[in-house]
Amino acid sequence: PPMIVINAMGAAIFVKALSLQRRLREQRDSTQARRILSIASQTVAHLRGGLTPDSARATAAIILAETGVAAVAITGETTILAHVGVGEDHHQAGAHWRTKGTRLAFEKGTALFLHDRDSIGCDAADCPLREAIIVPLRKGKAIRGCLKIYGTKDRPLDQPLFELAKGLAEHSIAAYSTDIT
């Protein structure tokens, strides 16, 4: 009898733990969806006319403020449209891409989560950017640019931010951009 009671209690605790885990996952997913929708609703007015240097800068500033990351950049097919935050001194709008991570994401057409400075591949020796999430921006099937979220030693990136960036690229920036220049 004691074994039956203990096993029943163990099973009940296990079921309760699974239920709690499911509820926490749903809550996290809901929070993530709210963040994406919040950012999308704030950026839609800027992006209605297309993804230009001005709309990219406004969008990057909103994403930076909403996420608290170190920096946010948006590129076109070969140039940086906007970079706000840490590294703004050398990742300048209008300049050609500086990082091999951007080239890799653009060529592969897949989202990347880069966890070290060497993978980012910035050619500036004193660049403080240590992590990057780079997500291609598509217009139809064509890749027309990238959304880039950067982390530093003091502001590391995580998996939820990776999922957020993919959601933003898919549902807000790419969806509202009628033209990427």
What type of residue sits at position 56?
A
Asked if 36 and 167 count as a contact pair (C-beta separation under 8 A), the reply is: yes
CA distances from 9 to 6, 12, 17, 135 (A): 5, 5, 12, 46
pTM summary value: 0.79
Q: Which residues of the chain have pLDDT under 70?
A: 28-30, 32-33, 172-181
Mean pLDDT of the chain: 86
